[in-house]
Structures are given as structure tokens and as C-alpha cells.
Structure 1
Amino acid sequence: METLLDLARDPAAWAALATLVAMEIVLGIDNLIFISILTNKLPAETREKARRIGIGLALILRLGLLATIAIIVALTEPVFTILGKGISWRDIILIAGGAFLVWKATREIHQHVVPEPEHDETSTLARAVPSFAAAIGQILILDLVFSIDSIITAVGMTDHVPIMFVAVIAAVTVMLFAATPLANFINANPTIVMLALAFLIMIGMTLIADGLGHHVPKGYIYTAMAFSTAVEALNMVARRRREKARGQTPAH
């Protein structure tokens, strides 16, 4: 208790907490995009439940990993070497998670781009719509990858575990409230789906590169995402204005 009170009176601790919360929220965007796209493929009546369960599991998983932080930090120790490069368990998890993300996003893009035969509508629907359990399982896989990455990043920013706990709880709470509005926005704007899937491929490739020892600064990734989103927002405004103008044009 005395330690917590000392932290509460320390301005540096509050600054570290604010920085860590902001970082956790930014890192959570990747996870949130994946959850939004995946749950939008479920029946409408189960989407909200899947998002809440998925994000709830993310919170439990991250808090559980924080409780074993010594083990998480040890994951950065090399376990074998390939071509002179030490590969740790963290690298393996990042490479596997990145590969899964690239595969999943590419598969989703294929389903959007390549039309399915009309006579195979039933089997197409079965392939396109995952089961509730399958969706939760896929969310949990990516939760694990993003959780390990964010916690190892947090360890590099502060030595105080209570600050990490508060930051994780705050960030996941923001994700919980933002999940449904983001999913509804993506669902209402089909062109955003393709952009979000492209983001997931970029994020997946970044995870693979990081696992192979080629670190890409997160600022570059999120700047590119913000710029692409701004361009698409301008396209959406332009399309709506054109549609409105066509609707107001008097018939001849």
C-alpha cells in the first residue's frame, strides 16, 4: 500500500502512466480493427457479444501475462540461432502471429474481390461466416500476439507493475467502448473494409519483420495508416456530395 501511495504522489509516475495508456490505446488499434472485421461476419445478434467476449479475454490475458512478467521478459532471450541471428520465443510468436494476420487478411480480401459461383451459395455462406467459437478463437490468437508485444514494450517504459496494470485496464476499457462504433462504421462503409484489411496485412508484415530482427518504428506505421484514412475520408465525402448532387438534379 505504501508503494502505491508513493507512486500516487510521484509526478513522474503519473507522466509514465499517461504515456503508457496512450501507447496501449494506439497499439490496441490493430487488435480492434481485426476484431471489428471478424465480428462483422457473424450474425447481427451475436456480434456485440463476440466483441465483448473477445475484448474481455484480451483484458484477462494481458493481466495474466503481467502477473508473470518475469516469464514474459525472459521470452526475449534467444533459444536458437539461424544464420547468426538469435531467435527468441517472442520472435517466434511475432512471426507466427504476423503470418496468421497476413493469411487471414489476404483470405478476406480474396472473398471480397473474387465473386463466388451463384450455384454454390450455401457452401459459400458457410465458408464466409465463421462460427461464434471460431471467431473467438481467432480473436484470442491475435490477442496473445498483441498482448506480448505491448507488455514487452511497456516493460521498456516503466519498472512499476501497478502502472502497467492501470494502463492496460484503461486501454482495454477504451477498446470496449470503441469496438461497436468502429465495427458499425466499417460495416456501413464497404470501401473502409478493404482499407482496414490492407492495414492488417501491413501490420502482419511488420510483426514478421520485427520477429526477424528488422524493427520498423511504430510511428511510421500509424502515420501511414492515418494518412490513408484521411485520403479515404475525403473520397467518402466526395462520393456523398456527388450522390447528393445527382439526387437534386431535376429530371428532363
Structure 2
Amino acid sequence: MAIMEFLAPHFAWLSDPAGWVALATLVVLEVVLGIDNLIFISILTNKLPQEHQKMARRLGIGAALVLRLVLLATISFIVQLTTPVFELFDHGFSWRDLILIAGGLFLVWKATKEIHHSVDPEDPKDNMLGRAATMTVGAAIFQILLLDLVFSIDSIITAVGMTDEIAIMYIAVIAAVTVMLIAAEPLSRFIAKNPTIVMLALGFLLMIGTTLIADGFGFHVPKGYIYAAMGFSALVEALNMLARRKRVLDKANAAKEQPGG
């Protein structure tokens, strides 16, 4: 009974249509924001041995959920991260800005290294996880955690800006991470089977990293522009994949029609 009395104020929004609208909007927003994280996790874990990939993906996404829930539990502290701690070039930098800049630089560096390795696989320099001989689940999880932290802080601050109801934030975060968990395996398989998708996804990560850096310096790029560009690029690549498939089928049919085919 005491538990119900404690929870009742947090779920008063259930009888308010505006609360349900806020929940639906925030769930969609959190899912969209999770795409960045999921692309990075998929590319990174595909570098691991086959038997370790699923476990690494689940650990990475599970860590994302734990981080978001912990950050929600310290919501008053997270809100303070937007308070400027020093000023440079007439711009006040907060801890959130510094975290976004560091995360953006990390993402740009990693994506650039992986693009270089994809273009020149014979280069003896390290790839995204280090040399092939040193690839470990621990290394992948560590790098996933770094980006989880960046994306989680951005996600929670977005949630705070959308609603004051802590219960709505928790439900939206759990729903978004659940979608990530369900989509991780199909997305990773799709990326692994289509090499051109890997390059496209790395291009997305470069763009996301750049926008994180810009956001940290006070130049906010509307998310709609970013996802519109990603959607257009994905559409062009889908058309290219259909064209390639048609050429392969036409070639196979032509071979069958030849004498002795």
C-alpha cells in the first residue's frame, strides 16, 4: 500500500491525454536518437569473431540501458551539466559540451580509421579495434561504453527538455533500448552482407561525429536535417542495391539461355 502511495504521483499523467502524447513523442524521439548508437555498435561488433558478436552486441546495448537509467536516477545532476563552467571565444562551455566534443572527435577518428582500413585492407596499421590479433570482446565493449556515455547524456537531456514526468522518461528510455535490442541482430547481419552499406554507415558516423562537435561548440544542427540526409543516402543506396541485383539476375538468365548453359 505504501508503495502504491509512493508511485501514484508519478503516474498521475496516465489520466491526461497530453501525458500519452508526450510519451509517444518521446519514445519515437529516443528510438531515432538510438539509431546512431546502434550503427556504431553493429559496425564495431562485426569486427569480432563470429561466436562473440551476439554477446558483445547484447552487452553493449545492455550497458546503454544501464547508463541511461543511472543518468535518469541522477537527473538533477545531469541538468547541471548544461551550466557553463568556463568561457572561450565568447562561448560558455558546459560539461555536456565538452563530452559531446570529445565523443564527436572519438567518433570521427574511429570512422576515419575504419574507412582507411576498408579502402586499403593491406595497410599494416591498426584498424577500428586495433590489429587483428588483438581484437577482443573487452576492447569492443570499452569503445561501445565510451559512445554509450555520449549518446546517453544527449538522450537524457533531450528527454528532460520534452517532459517533467520522470516515469515517462523511464518508459521511453526502456522502450527505445528494447527496440535497439530487437533491431541489433538484423541490422548487423544486413551490414555484414552488404559491404557498401558499411561505407555508407561509416559516412553516417562521420556526419554524426561532426554534428556532435558542432553542437559542443554551440552550433546546433537540427536533427531533422541530419536524419533527412541519412534517409536520402539510404534511399540512393537501396536503389543501387536493386540495380546490382537486377544486373546479377540478368547475367544469370543470359548464361542459362546460352547453348550448354
TM-score (norm 1): 0.95
Q: Secondary structure of the residue that 2:85 maps to in structure 1?
A: strand
Q: Secondary structure of the residue that 1:79 maps to in structure 2?
A: strand
Q: How does 1:131-150 map to 2 (within 5 A)?
A: 131-150=136-155
Q: How does 1:97-246 map to 2 (within 5 A)?
A: 97-116=103-122, 127-128=131-132, 130-246=135-251
Once residues 124 and 202 of structure 1 are traced to their aligned partners in structure 2, the CA distance between those partners, rounded to angstroms, is 17
Q: Secondary structure of the residue that 1:205 maps to in structure 2?
A: helix
Deviation at 1:7, TM superposition (A): 1.6
Deviation at 1:126, TM superposition (A): 6.4
The one-character-per-residue Cα deviations of 1:175-199 (angstroms, maximum 9, x if unpaired) are 0000000000000000000000000
Q: Secondary structure of the residue that 1:36 maps to in structure 2?
A: helix
Deviation at 1:115, TM superposition (A): 3.4
State the match for 1:51 in structure 2: 57
Say which is worse superposed, 162-171 or 4-13, in terms of deviation. 4-13
Q: Which stretches of structure 1, 4 residues or longer, exceed 2 Å deviation after superposition?
A: 123-126
State the match for 2:258 in structure 1: 251
- Aligned pair 1:33/2:39, yes or no? yes
The one-character-per-residue Cα deviations of 1:88-147 (angstroms, maximum 9, x if unpaired) are 000000000000000000000000001316xx69x9996146311010000000000000
Once residues 97 and 125 of structure 1 are traced to their aligned partners in structure 2, the CA distance between those partners, rounded to angstroms, is 17
Paired residues of 2:129 and 2:139 also in contact (CA < 8 A): no
AA in 1 matched with 2:187: L
* Structure 1 pair 63–110 and aligned structure 2 pair: CA distance change class (3 A): same
Deviation at 1:3, TM superposition (A): 1.5
Once residues 30 and 251 of structure 2 are traced to their aligned partners in structure 1, the CA distance between those partners, rounded to angstroms, is 44
AA in 1 matched with 2:79: V
Identity among equivalent positions (%) equals: 66
In the comparison of the two structures, how many residue pairs are matched?
249
Gaps of 5+ in 2: 1-6
